Amino acid sequence: MRLAKYLAHAGVASRRAAEGLVAEGRVTVAGTAVTDPARDVDESSAVAVDGEPVRAEPREVWVLNKPAGVVSTASDTHGRRTVTELVPSARRLYPVGRLDADSTGLLLLTNDGELANLLTHPRYGVAKTYRAHVRPAVVSERGLQGLREGLELDDGRTAPAKVRQVRPGLLEITIREGRKRQVRRMVEAVGHRVTALERVAFGPLRLRGLAPGAHRRLRPGEIEELRAPAEREGRARVGDNRRR
């Protein structure tokens, strides 16, 4: 197995973050620093990060209803409360993607780096649905159409989104990207401001029955429901590229 994938499977970090650890020279194999994330390793290879042996641990996936004011990181240099502090697990969990500190709602935490990559990499296009409270309250049809068709932001054009105006002042927006503060910036691009933002769905998983700050561990069947659509989308995109 490739080194970065091995680290992700062991719950050290997502695959992309694991590649960064390798590039920084923090990973050793049999006592020797390795900078090639594609290096083949297995359980007998004596892999270590910062001198600490890496051993596989049972996979866990949790869903959390993130409250406002909590940061979506495993640790924080400013002493703010983090999402990992809200979940009672002995595993090295980290959030799957992020919600900014002011945003609330559905956030996944896991020690399964492969699953985290599958759910967040743009290649797999996993849908995420948000409810955005906006001001001014009424978004014009032209503004709604712009959100649906895609908008030019400072980091490029957004992909088409599903958008409906639930009522004046409340939009439901589904995107398949994960840019920084994307929903807020999209709404600003059509002349409105988000006053509150809640994620209510991640793929097929919806935020139901969890109070702010509450959490639960996902069942194996729920994890498979998250994984399967992303894998199908990934295979479909590979097939499309080969036909071009």
Enumerate the active-site residues: 100
Give me Rg for the CA atoms of the chain: 20
For 116, 159, 177, the CA distances from 125, given in Å and listed in that order, are 13, 10, 7
Q: What contacts 75, CB < 8 A, 6 or more positions away?
A: 82, 84
Give the residue among 114, 123, 125 at the shortest CA–CA distance from 17: 114
Q: Which amino acid is at 165?
A: Q
Burial 52-75 (b: 16+ CB within 10 A, else e): eebeeeebbbbbbbbeeebbbeee
Please state, in angstroms and rounded to a whole number, the distance separating the CA atoms of residues 19 and 3. Answer: 8
Give the residue among 97, 153, 163 at the shortest CA–CA distance from 132: 163
Please state, in angstroms and rounded to a whole number, the distance separating the CA atoms of residues 95 and 141. Answer: 35
Q: Which amino acid is at 89?
A: S
